[in-house]
Amino acid sequence: MKKQEFKSGFVTLIGRPNVGKSTLMNHLIGQKIAITSDKPQTTRNRIQTVYTKEDGQIIFLDTPGIHKAKNKLGEYMVSIAERTMKEVDVVLWLVEPTTFIGAGERHIGEQLLNVKTPVILVINKVDTVKKEEILKFIQAYKDLYAFADIVPVSALKGENTGELLNTIFKYLPQGPMYYDEDTITDQPEKQIAAELIREKALRLLSDEIPHGIAVAIDSMKERKGGSMMDIDATIVCERDSHKGIIIGKNGEKLKQIGIQARREIENLLDMQVNLKLWVKVKKDWRDSDFLIKNYGYDR
């Protein structure tokens, strides 16, 4: 019997903030690499992950959502998303399950007009609607753009995600195995650890602070014998008042961020972690090219 052809390619996830791009990618590769939260602009970097099966490989690119930029960090985030759409084999455009198509979606549709890449529409979060409504959403989006395919899923519950993988492979060319089968991401462990700390801060803090924070890992060292990883990290914020809120009454907030982040970093590294957290103010770091780079947002 003829050996099946190996198919492979690059697939990007785009869509408005909070539609579930990072949640879906984590689910498809079966590991938490990209952090998620109910706050927009959670993802700041282009994160690459790899899904490998016997006869194929997908390299996913999770990008920051497309939105109107308000500062240099925002401009950087939008430009990554827009550049990526032209470099890939398939675009996955994630949307909410609704018949209302707003300005955000129309803006993305316009960006895609000059892109020849096949676009698969992923209607996410179908766990939040009645099954019989889904056809209506499909129809509404069909009027917006000439999609190659439309697949409703729930990234959170893992509904119909196998079907989505099959649909993606339909549009991938024959190609090489770009990465060995053990490769899951291009993100260094240090970067993922910093992101996991930022995720806990995003989830535990009130709305206005999270956008202005960054996390730097000051040191990450394994103890002799490999029994424990010592990590020192700094949460950077933009104002003195924010520093107080991040630390919290009697240091309670910072302690909670530390406890929750440590658990996830232990999962990631598969060893015990001793995590020490500091908080530092750097005014307007989001408008400084140097500091944006310094905190790892430079690709």
Separation of alpha carbons 29 and 259, rounded Å:
26
Among 12, 42, 48, 187, binds K ion (CB under 5 A): 42
For Mg ion (CB under 5 A), the number of binding residues is 4
Among ligand GDP, K ion, Mg ion, none, residue 74 binds (CB under 5-8 Å by kind): none
For ligand GDP (CB under 6 A), the number of binding residues is 21
Binding mask 128-157 for ligand GDP (x = CB under 6 A): x-------------------------xxx-
CB of 103 to K ion, least distance (A): 19
β-pair partners for 215? 235
Interface with Mg ion, residue 18, by CB under 5 A: no
Is-contact 63 43, C-beta < 8 A?
yes
**Residue-wise over 109-141: b if at least 16 C-beta within 10 A, else e?**
eebbeeeebbbbbbbbbbeebeeeeeeebbeeb
Nearer to ligand GDP by Cβ, of 22 and 187: the residue is 22
DSSP codes joined into one string, 156-223: TTTBTHHHHHHHHHHTPPB----S-TT--BSS-HHHHHHHHHHHHHHHHS-TTTGGG-EEEEEEEEEP
Interface with Mg ion by CB under 5 A: which range of 14-22, 94-102, 141-149, 233-241?
14-22
Interface with ligand GDP, residue 43, by CB under 6 A: yes
CB of 108 to ligand GDP, least distance (A): 12
Is-contact 118 9, C-beta < 8 A?
no
Nearer to K ion by Cβ, of 18 and 57: the residue is 18
Separation of alpha carbons 149 and 156, rounded Å:
21
Binding mask 27-66 for Mg ion (x = CB under 5 A): ---------------xx-----------------------
Binding site for Mg ion (CB under 5 A): 21-22, 42-43
